[in-house]
Amino acid sequence: MSEFLNNIKNQFEKFCGENPSNDIVNDFRIKSFENFNNLGLPTTKDEDWRFTNLNEFYKNQYSIPPTKKEFNKNLISNSISDLDAHFIYLYNGKLVENDNIDNVVIKSLSSFLNEADLNTFNRFVDNHSVKNRDFTFELNSAFINDGVFIDVNEKAVIDKPIVLINYFDSSTSFSSYRNLINFNTLSSGQVVEYTFSDRDINFFSNKTTSFFLGDSTNVEHLSIDESSYHSYIFSNLKISQTNDSNFTTDSILIGGKIYRNNVHPVLNGQGSNSNILGLYLSKENQHMDNYMFVEHVEPNCGSRQLYKGLLKDSSKGVFHGRILVHNEAQKTDAKQTNRNLLLSDKAQVDTKPQLEIYADDVKCTHGATTGQIDKEALYYLRARGINLEDAKLIMIRSFTEELLEFINSNFILELHKKIVEEWFLNSDLAKTD
């Protein structure tokens, strides 16, 4: 662990030297790095990391990859490149190319940071709820430079979905990047983040995507991560919602050796609503840790978490579902559901709900289930002539498809289905026991 920390410290010094910025940014980096140092690296003794052992991760030495200009787009899966969408390309976290979109300003995060005055900086970078900042987030702040800033004009309705493609190709690299996506009042749109990498490379990705939803905005988000099965992925999704905004996020976790998926919506405007959906598809020795933190600050908001895990082989899943209802947040309606389907006797899931409610007039429910494919149901399907493999697939599909009910955008729905079916095809589901 100390070697890991030393290495990170060296990388930080190198990073600051190579990416000088203005005082606001420089001070912020240093402050955040101190915060990171004060927090230290977590072990399973930390309540929030109880089920995720990072020891094998700490044995690695990662370094910041050299800047590269453009990547071979033929590497992008057809399911993505054929989409009718606006594309933005990131390479190891750096913005390299983007389509122009009417009513949307797109720039690299580093140019955003260079231009930002203190107000703007605070609003988009240094304004995150202090209730949930783990080492990954502090580290992401310390290394703030790469990523993209997207600003959607007031009242704009984006004609086509925005697809952010992020490609990693450097083994032993450490990529830290932040995407800031701002929807101004009355605007709406769909944003897809698609992340993939070269096969089998071991890299360390530490990403934060922050959404800012103005009054009466309507945004749907889908995140798909198909990175190498040998990578370590730490992802923070932060959402800040003001009055009457509607947000739906859907995550499909496929890649990573260890995947930590932090999702943190903050409902700080009355009448706003958040749907937090996710599907973790794990196999072999993958470990997928979903840490949800839904924060209700203002009254009359709703949140609906539905996370589903489909676990094969010896893979492990974690679902930690926190809901924090502040004392002003009366009439909160928060619902949390976690369901897991184990496709092997060796697969395992740990689920932990954590409700902290300080208002008295709220509706807050949670529930979790973990089980295997129902044997009686399988027999029933087979007794009607459906082959065992097909019967299993029918049961698995019926399990995952519950999520689709909460997706409004047809584009996201179809893409979600396609990616999941591809995983089914690649995962030899028939050979489960």
Q: Which residues bind another protein (CB under 8 A)?
A: 374, 376-377, 379-388, 390-391, 394-395, 397-399, 401-402
Q: Which is nearer to another protein, 75 or 377 (CB)?
A: 377
In the complex, least distance from residue 430 CB atom to another protein, rounded to whole angstroms: 13
Cβ atoms of 176 and 140 within 8 Å: the answer is yes
Cβ burial of 133 (10 Å; 0-12, 13-18, 19+) is buried
User: What is the torsion angle, in degrees rounded to the nearest 10, for the CA atoms of residue 381, residue 383, residue 386 and residue 391?
Assistant: 30
Q: Which is nearer to another protein, 47 or 374 (CB)?
A: 374
Q: Which is nearer to another protein, 71 or 423 (CB)?
A: 423
In the complex, least distance from residue 380 CB atom to another protein, rounded to whole angstroms: 4
In the complex, least distance from residue 381 CB atom to another protein, rounded to whole angstroms: 7
Task: Calculate the CA 264 to chain-centre distance.
Answer: 9
Q: Which is nearer to another protein, 358 or 379 (CB)?
A: 379
Q: Which is nearer to another protein, 5 or 386 (CB)?
A: 386
**CA dist., res. 3 & res. 10, Å (int):** 10
**CA dist., res. 201 & res. 183, Å (int):** 35
**CA dist., res. 296 & res. 311, Å (int):** 31
Q: Which is nearer to another protein, 69 or 375 (CB)?
A: 375
In the complex, least distance from residue 117 CB atom to another protein, rounded to whole angstroms: 52
In the complex, least distance from residue 400 CB atom to another protein, rounded to whole angstroms: 9
Q: Which is nearer to another protein, 4 or 424 (CB)?
A: 424
Side by side, the strands of the sheet bearing 232-241 are: 104-108, 148-152, 174-183, 204-213, 232-241, 258-267, 287-296, 316-325, 348-357
In the complex, least distance from residue 387 CB atom to another protein, rounded to whole angstroms: 5
The residue among 429, 318, 355, 353 whose CA lies nearest residue 49 is 318
CA separation, residue 213 to residues 19, 182, 240 (Å) = 30, 6, 6
Cβ atoms of 249 and 277 within 8 Å: the answer is yes
- What angle, 0 to 180 degrees and rounded to 10, lies between the N-to-C axes of helices 23-39 and 135-142? 150
In the complex, least distance from residue 305 CB atom to another protein, rounded to whole angstroms: 19
In the complex, least distance from residue 349 CB atom to another protein, rounded to whole angstroms: 19
Q: Which is nearer to another protein, 186 or 394 (CB)?
A: 394
Q: Do you know the residue count of the chain?
A: 433
